[in-house]
Chain A
Amino acid sequence: MSDALISIDRLCRHYVVGGEMVRALDGVSFDIAQGEWVAIVGQSGSGKSTLMNLLGCLDTATSGTYRLNGADVETLSDDQLADLRNKEIGFVFQTFQLLGRASALANVELPLVYRGVPRRERRALAEQALRSVGLANRMHHKPNELSGGQRQRVAVARALVGQPSILLADEPTGNLDSQTGEEIVRLFGELHQRGHTIILVTHEPRLAARCPRAIRLMDGRVLGDGPGAEVAALQAPRAVGT
């Protein structure tokens, strides 16, 4: 267990909203090993977004521990977190989050800019990443000149270009029609085959069912953790009185 890529233990994240304590995440523990493809599934309000922010080092926990590739995330400064995100995590967002004024190539180069990679090397790596997601002939297009599926591929290339330990995808198919969504899921499958570690955050059980492993969250706690098909089929316990 100690050689896990991600190891979280009794992770809590509490907010105070309007004078009231909200336990968005309330004691979540699990490990993720190198090369796994894990879905984190749950309805809105289950805490999956909070968990994604914590796993992505965008936010820090109220209590509990998070070890990422040997580093104690809780103890890191803001700058160190930024460097960790740059090195270890590739984000793919539901809304793509590409920079509109920059070409696909410039978007993909961005993580390397923040790593101080020289321009020529940066360009070569970005071109390679774009080719690997099948966009060899769209490199100089701006996001608004690309289709939704192509935009998400650019985002995946941007996530991959720095060779991070984890690909962290937040509802990557949420803004795509079912056919392009399917293409992206297949792309993730390929990346998984190539050995990438993928964490896919989604509210869709059908998507979670296709992942080798799924972790189901509800009300800030882990409801189930196991093979995707089984966990996706879990029924939430009915609330009393309905």
Chain B
Amino acid sequence: MSRLAARWRGLRRFLAEAGEGVRIALLSLTGARLRSFLTTLGIVIGVMTVIAIVAIIDGLNASFAAQVGGLGANTLYVSKWKWMTTSEDWWSIRNRKDMGKAELEAVIREATLAAAVAPFVSLDAALTSEQAEVNRVRVRGTNQDYLLANGGSVGSGRFLTEPDVELSRSVLVLGPNVADRLFPGVTHDEVVGRRVRVQGRPFTVIGVLARRGRLMGLDLDTEASLPWTTFLRDLGAKRTISIAVAAPPGQVQALEDQLVGILRRVRRVPPGKPDDFSVNRQEQFLRIYNQLTGALYGVAVGVGLITLLVGGIGIMNIMLVSVTERTREIGVRRALGARRRTILLQFLIESSLVAALGGAIGTALGFGVALLVDLTTPLAAAVTPGAVALGLGFSAGVGLLFGSWPAWRAAHLDPVEALRYE
């Protein structure tokens, strides 16, 4: 019973001391506002940097994942080109045979696992209407499966159909930006049916795509699609074709094996020789992207940590000054019965409160910066609870860490000397 009573007394005493510690800390914070602000500035900047950069990267990740996800996680891209190449590979890949009609027809005919097969062949060209000319539009030859394999949807009119492709019709589906610029002030519904020239050849607009936005600064809405057969006939037959092939869920690997077999046969690759084509996946994109942002993350967190370190040293410095200034006060408290750990607690509370306050301000500012970036640039920014917790936790930790040496000094002052201190 008496042990329990002692525990209870100890707890009560601790609570009273902690309460006093918080009260003193608040008094000294509000008593020297400018100094508190300057002390905590390093922490504010550090936390702000981390929160803002992490928010921007998180936002980037989210939009990238959404956009790339639109390409279809289960879509394979068969091409002469390999997406991620080293410079040594480049010449050998460049010298590969172009892909053409034969490969596409073989894939359409024989790839039994494919859910959708869409060819790609593209160039940047100028488009003209009666009112306007738009330069550098990505013009793509493809087929009716394009939206299925690549993502996107129709806003007005219709997309390409099988007959369009088979009959090599001179029809065109415009991206919304192209429609806006070719026909200023005309609604997309009214754009359908109008005439557009691509490299001088006339086309009829049959549809306008819904807006997709931007992907890492890339404008996805400045493009135009036409039947690949028409493309090869009118805009150049010598271009190499890529083929997007969508697999049913869970069959990506099986589809890849099937595609490799078909292509090796069609392209007459002798057994034992390496493939003279590549089967690309958007995963490769993601992997490179993640490496990139991972490095960026690391740099941002590193910079933030260094700033926090500098902020921590600032806190340590000001706490040492504070201990010196309050030497007599410490002596008085010790004389009145404060134990060493009471003094220690008091100064630790003060330093972590200063730092946590800085962390809170930094978090708020980081939010603001992220919001500003979100509103004024194409980059999306998203502040996650994890980032906030990280910022606050780190700053309070920094306060504790860098406050502990001054607090220890305060706690180990000789009461007699401290009382006599002038």
Contacts and interface: CB of A to CB of B under 8 A. Distances in A.
B337 A111 contact: yes
Given A78-B339, A85-B335, A86-B337, A116 B27 contact: no
A230 interface: no
Contacts of B342: 82, 114
Interface string A74-99: 00001100110111000101000101
A83 B10 CA distance: 12
Given A101-B27, A114-B17, A87 B337 contact: yes
B133 to A, nearest CB: 75
Contacts of B17: 113-114, 116
Contact of B337 (A59, A93, A99, A114): A114
Interface string B1-21: 000000001101111110110
A59 B413 CA distance: 12
A26 B20 CA distance: 40
Interface in A31-75: 53, 56, 58-59
B337 A79 contact: no
A99 B332 contact: yes
Contacts of A99: 329, 332
Contacts of B12: 116, 118
Most chain A CB within 10 A, of B10, B31, B340, B419, is at B419
Contacts of A83: 337, 339
B212 interface: no
A196 B27 CA distance: 35
B336 interface: yes
Contacts, number: 80
B186 interface: no
Contacts of A53: 416
A97 B418 CA distance: 11
Contact of B31 (A86, A97, A101, A122): A101
A79 B336 contact: no
Interface in B22-79: 27-28, 31
A19 to B, nearest CB: 20
A178 to B, nearest CB: 25
Nearest to B339: A82
Interface string A102-129: 1000000011011111110010000000
A102 B23 CA distance: 10
B328 A97 contact: yes
B336 A78 contact: no
17 contacts: A79-B340, A82-B334, A85-B334, A85-B335, A86-B336, A91-B335, A97-B332, A111-B336, A113-B16, A113-B20, A114-B342, A115-B13, A116-B12, A116-B13, A118-B16, A119-B16, A122-B16
Interface of A: 53, 56, 58-59, 78-79, 82-83, 85-87, 91, 93, 97, 99, 101-102, 110-111, 113-119, 122, 158, 162
- 4 closest Cβ pairs, A-B complex: A86-B337, A116-B13, A114-B337, A116-B12
